[in-house]
Chains A and B, each alone.
Chain A
Amino acid sequence: MLEVTGATVRFGADAALRDVDFRLFPGEVHSLMGENGAGKSTLIKAITGALALDEGVLVLAGETVTFRDPHAAQAAGIGTVYQEIELLPNLSVAENICLGREPRRGGVISARAMNTRAHEILLDLGLDLDPASTLGTHSLAVQQLVAIARAISADVRVLVLDEPTSSLDLDEVAELFRIIRELKTRGVAILFVSHFLDQVYEICDRVTVLRDGELVGEYLTRELLRIDLVQKMLGRGASELKSRDRLADDEPDAAVVLRARGVSSARGITEADVDLGEGEVLGVAGLLGSGRTSLARALTGVNRLESGVIRIESRPVRLDSPRRAMSLGVVYSSEDRRRDGIVAELSVLDNITLALQSERGVLRQIPAARRRELAASWVEALDIRPPDLDRPAGTLSGGNQQKVLLARLLALSPRVLVLDEPTRGIDVGAKVEIQNLVGELADNGMSVVFISAELEEVLRVGDRVAVVRDGRVVRIAAAVELTADSLLALVAQPDEDEE
């Protein structure tokens, strides 16, 4: 039905997608798998007309096509349901389904005809909903189904579902799957993207795996073991690492610096228990959406706790803001450098000294010479390139931006450093440098939480490894006791060896 060959998309010098092939058959549910930055969303955008391919061809039902915009893709029969529901909460359900092709008589919209038609489409999906009600009054799950109703109300040949289940509960997912199967029998080709492996295995016939913008392969779901799938997604790349002495216990033997008990936050982490010893690196392994980021944010005052206690050196503390956490020596570096990290238009100098300055307060400005000296020493220590303090930080490469962020946090001389995917999307050299740096910091007594999607990296860097799955910390073990395979099994497999 749909075939993409040699797809390449570049953003400046970096390619987000390199020479990827992808095919979709009618009456088939096909899953696209990959971690952050693997190129999933880029490929979807190329298919749905939101992005143009720099190289490669798109063939729909035997015809080569190029889509000028999403609307052109829709007109060609490619319906899309986005992860962020792209509907209008202020309008009625019927309008959300029909708008743009609503029944009109002499230019006047017939609300009755529109409601009737919408109701029919909804009933078709097994949804008895008042079509005149305002969309925003319904739950996200219903809105998601309305989005599907809109996508299939036109003559749809390909349906793209981008993480449609992330806001649904189990029953709602079952309902969605019933609809997907129904559409499948009608011969619709369905592209289903989800980071929930269970769902992929339940509904999909075929899987295409991407990693770092490249195609890993296409497989039949029933022939591919779950563990192999995860391995293909995460990949294995060997790189050098300075050896350091590591602890071999399940429990930290040094003094516990940070102790979290029963920590839950509104977004994504439930009842987590974590201990962090002095001079220890705790690796955190988990798939995208497992709760690994929520855990980091809960520990650092970014997201508020719903329940649970965090103690720092056995004193219970309330981390109600990043600022408060910082004053207690707990700092966080976000997985999303561009959005939550770098202040792009400010200079490297200002970015490095930002946190230190705000901790000192507005009035006690660090003297200019001291600031420059401080920033220069970090630029040198972390080998930030180009070593130009006055350059806007946004113009640096990803790896160097990450180093600037690290410098900003390290300038505070923190006791606990929480790094959320610090090595994502940066080149191998910078990656190794950051891994080594984390080791050195720990050797000097700093406690580090190191989150990564790469299991090998977690194993190499961490003294102990915490495995996060479905919003829970399911296992904490010494890194030396784990192998890449056993960790893979822990990360991938649901509902086994739960305590």
Chain B
Amino acid sequence: MAAMTTTTARAGGRADRASSRVQTFLSRHGGMMPTFAAALILVLLFIGAEAFLRGDFIKPLTISNLLINNAYLLVLAVGMTFVILTGGIDLSVGSVMAFTGMLGAKLLADGLPVAIAIPAMLLGGAAIGLFIGILVQYFGVQPFIASLAGLFLGRGLAFIVSLNSIKVEDPAVLWLQSTRWKLGDWVVTPTGIIALATVAIAAFVLHLTRFGRTIYAIGGSEQSARLMGLKVGRAKVGAYVISGTCAGLAGLLLTAYANSSYPRNGIGTELDAIAAVVIGGTLLTGGRGYVLGSMIGVFVYGTIKTIINFMGAEQAWMQIIVGALLLLFIVVQRAIVARAEGRR
């Protein structure tokens, strides 16, 4: 320790300035460390896959597919990020996605135009989100339980729409997935663009609007946020509505991806979304995290899946690896929180 101090002292001006810049950075963006860790894991996964698969992995196509194949999960993770930032959780997203997918497919099959079907999907998701939000905010129901009711509701409604899968033939919906815009070897579909746009809009809302900052404030301390005169109730309900709407949008993307809708879609997907958000560095206790981190989390998830596919390994490894990563991040988060409490 003493040796370190003398070294620093001797190193003189430039190092001092550099270290103070590091300090400034840390004091401003220390909360991003878990997200950096996720990015690091993503890079390591890439390098590992590249080495293991003898240069067959890091190709524009593989990486493009990462976005295209996981667009729906990315949208779900964005919505989940809002809810988790408030310190809540939304278990309903998987089944809400299934429900809205079925709803849209059914409306289209009945001959209604896209202009009605798609807004109906989004509204359907938003309505379930609103239902959960009201239970949480105005009836003091734990988010876990309230969203559990939403989960049941969504799943049952999906089966009420139809017990069997519905094929989608509407050209506009199919266009979302079948169109391939190319830039060199890079490929992107409209679904991918929609997912990226969702991330961008979410990042904007979370960082530059009062609503977004209120979401963070609630996660930091709901009581303080209230004492500061922020509109806590509205923001909290809003977070669940956004999550529901995102689930509705994910329903659209998944339907476009599969050309059809199946009422058993997305069983357990809420866990994948939660895992992606947590791996992306968002604290489950709320208040800390970034929607960009959630994107990285989804890519980590997607990469693991791709690698397992490449290797032809058991799909079961997917769940185990994601579970292990989740555990790792939770333990790290726990350590961070414990340290923060120790300082208080």
Name which residue of chain A comes closest to B221, CB basis: A88
Contact indicator A99/B217 (Cβ below 8 Å): yes
From residue 354 to 410 of chain A, which have CB atoms closer than 8 A to chain B?
none
Contact indicator A99/B228 (Cβ below 8 Å): yes
| One of A55-63, A132-140, A214-222, A282-290 contacting the partner | A132-140
Name which residue of chain B comes closest to A111, CB basis: B208
A62 and B221 alpha carbons, distance in the complex (Å): 35
A27 and B28 alpha carbons, distance in the complex (Å): 37
User: Does B148 sit within 8 A of A, measured CB to CB?
Assistant: no
User: Does B220 sit within 8 A of A, measured CB to CB?
Assistant: yes
Contact indicator B220/A88 (Cβ below 8 Å): yes
**Chain B residues closer than 8 Å to A109, beta-carbon distance:** 208-210, 213
Give, as a whole number of angstroms, the nearest-CB distance from B178 to chain A: 36
Contact indicator A102/B210 (Cβ below 8 Å): yes
Most B CB within 10 A of own CB, among A87, A99, A104, A138: A99
| One of A90-98, A119-127, A297-305 contacting the partner | A90-98
From residue 73 to 92 of chain A, which have CB atoms closer than 8 A to chain B?
74-75, 80, 82, 86-92
Name which residue of chain B comes closest to A89, CB basis: B220
Contact indicator A89/B30 (Cβ below 8 Å): no
Give, as a whole number of angstroms, the nearest-CB distance from A150 to chain B: 8
A104 and B223 alpha carbons, distance in the complex (Å): 24
**Chain B residues closer than 8 Å to A107, beta-carbon distance:** 209-210
User: Does A130 sit within 8 A of B, measured CB to CB?
Assistant: yes
B28's contact among A74, A75, A104, A132, by CB below 8 Å, is which? A132
Give, as a whole number of angstroms, the nearest-CB distance from A303 to chain B: 15
A314 and B296 alpha carbons, distance in the complex (Å): 61
> A99-B217, A100-B230, A109-B209 are contacts. A88–B31 as well, Cβ < 8 Å?
no
Name which residue of chain B comes closest to A85, CB basis: B224
User: Does A425 sit within 8 A of B, measured CB to CB?
Assistant: no
User: Does A178 sit within 8 A of B, measured CB to CB?
Assistant: no
**Chain B residues closer than 8 Å to A136, beta-carbon distance:** 340
Give, as a whole number of angstroms, the nearest-CB distance from A15 to chain B: 26
Per-residue A-contact encoding for B174-207, CB less than 8 Å = 1, 0 else = 0000000000000000000000000000000000
A184 and B31 alpha carbons, distance in the complex (Å): 38
A133 and B219 alpha carbons, distance in the complex (Å): 18
**Chain A residues closer than 8 Å to B219, beta-carbon distance:** 90
Contact indicator A89/B340 (Cβ below 8 Å): yes
Give, as a whole number of angstroms, the nearest-CB distance from A48 to chain B: 9
A133's contact among B24, B216, B288, B344, by CB below 8 Å, is which? B24
User: Does A322 sit within 8 A of B, measured CB to CB?
Assistant: no
Per-residue B-contact encoding for A266-306, CB less than 8 Å = 1, 0 else = 00000000000000000000000000000000000000000
Contact indicator A134/B344 (Cβ below 8 Å): no
**Chain B residues closer than 8 Å to A99, beta-carbon distance:** 210, 213, 217, 228, 230
Per-residue A-contact encoding for B210-237, CB less than 8 Å = 1, 0 else = 1001001101110111111110000000
**Chain A residues closer than 8 Å to B210, beta-carbon distance:** 99-100, 102, 104, 107, 109
Give, as a whole number of angstroms, the nearest-CB distance from B176 to chain A: 30
User: Does A414 sit within 8 A of B, measured CB to CB?
Assistant: no
Range, interface on chain A = 20 to 34
Give, as a whole number of angstroms, the nearest-CB distance from B36 to chain A: 15
A99 and B214 alpha carbons, distance in the complex (Å): 8
Per-residue A-contact encoding for B247-274, CB less than 8 Å = 1, 0 else = 0000000000000000000000000000
User: Does B287 sit within 8 A of A, measured CB to CB?
Assistant: yes
From residue 416 to 459 of chain A, which have CB atoms closer than 8 A to chain B?
none
A92 and B30 alpha carbons, distance in the complex (Å): 11
User: Does A70 sit within 8 A of B, measured CB to CB?
Assistant: yes
User: Does B26 sit within 8 A of A, measured CB to CB?
Assistant: yes
Name which residue of chain A comes closest to B224, CB basis: A86
User: Does B7 sit within 8 A of A, measured CB to CB?
Assistant: no
**Chain A residues closer than 8 Å to B31, beta-carbon distance:** 90, 134
User: Does A108 sit within 8 A of B, measured CB to CB?
Assistant: yes
**Chain B residues closer than 8 Å to A140, beta-carbon distance:** 344
B224's contact among A71, A88, A102, A132, by CB below 8 Å, is which? A88
For B, the interface residue count at a CB cutoff of 8 angstroms equals: 28
User: Does B5 sit within 8 A of A, measured CB to CB?
Assistant: no
B227's contact among A70, A75, A92, by CB below 8 Å, is which? A70
**Chain A residues closer than 8 Å to B24, beta-carbon distance:** 130, 133
Contact indicator B28/A130 (Cβ below 8 Å): yes
**Chain A residues closer than 8 Å to B315, beta-carbon distance:** none
Contact indicator B208/A100 (Cβ below 8 Å): no
Contact indicator B216/A86 (Cβ below 8 Å): no
Name which residue of chain B comes closest to A101, CB basis: B229
A146 and B226 alpha carbons, distance in the complex (Å): 17
Give, as a whole number of angstroms, the nearest-CB distance from A178 to chain B: 25
Contact indicator A90/B288 (Cβ below 8 Å): yes
User: Does B6 sit within 8 A of A, measured CB to CB?
Assistant: no
Contact indicator A133/B28 (Cβ below 8 Å): yes
Contact indicator B229/A90 (Cβ below 8 Å): no
> A71-B229, A99-B213, A100-B228 are contacts. A91–B220 as well, Cβ < 8 Å?
yes
**Chain B residues closer than 8 Å to A132, beta-carbon distance:** 28
**Chain A residues closer than 8 Å to B225, beta-carbon distance:** 88
Contact indicator A88/B27 (Cβ below 8 Å): no
Name which residue of chain B comes closest to A99, CB basis: B228
A291 and B342 alpha carbons, distance in the complex (Å): 20
Give, as a whole number of angstroms, the nearest-CB distance from A172 to chain B: 16
**Chain B residues closer than 8 Å to A133, beta-carbon distance:** 24, 27-28
Per-residue B-contact encoding for A185-225, CB less than 8 Å = 1, 0 else = 00000000000000000000000000000000000000000
**Chain B residues closer than 8 Å to A70, beta-carbon distance:** 226-227, 229
From residue 1 to 29 of chain B, which have CB atoms closer than 8 A to chain A?
24, 26-29
Give, as a whole number of angstroms, the nearest-CB distance from A366 to chain B: 35
Give, as a whole number of angstroms, the nearest-CB distance from A153 to chain B: 11
A490 and B95 alpha carbons, distance in the complex (Å): 69
Give, as a whole number of angstroms, the nearest-CB distance from B156 to chain A: 35
Name which residue of chain A comes closest to B287, CB basis: A90
Name which residue of chain B comes closest to A49, CB basis: B227
**Chain B residues closer than 8 Å to A89, beta-carbon distance:** 220-221, 340
Name which residue of chain A comes closest to B218, CB basis: A88
A74's contact among B217, B223, B229, by CB below 8 Å, is which? B229
A30 and B59 alpha carbons, distance in the complex (Å): 71
Most A CB within 10 A of own CB, among B28, B217, B224: B224
Name which residue of chain B comes closest to A50, CB basis: B227
Name which residue of chain B comes closest to A139, CB basis: B343
> A88-B287, A90-B216, A91-B213 are contacts. A137–B26 as well, Cβ < 8 Å?
yes
> A92-B28, A109-B209, A109-B210 are contacts. A100–B229 as well, Cβ < 8 Å?
yes
**Chain A residues closer than 8 Å to B228, beta-carbon distance:** 71, 86, 88, 99-100, 150
From residue 28 to 65 of chain B, which have CB atoms closer than 8 A to chain A?
28-31
Give, as a whole number of angstroms, the nearest-CB distance from A49 to chain B: 10
**Chain A residues closer than 8 Å to B27, beta-carbon distance:** 130, 133-134, 137-138
5 new A-B contacts at CB < 8 Å, known A88-B221, A108-B208, A108-B209: A90-B216, A102-B210, A102-B213, A133-B28, A150-B228
* 5 nearest CB pairs, A to B: A88-B220, A133-B27, A71-B229, A90-B287, A90-B220
A-B contact pairs, 11 of them (CB 8 A): A70-B226, A70-B229, A71-B229, A87-B221, A87-B224, A88-B228, A89-B221, A91-B216, A91-B217, A107-B209, A134-B29
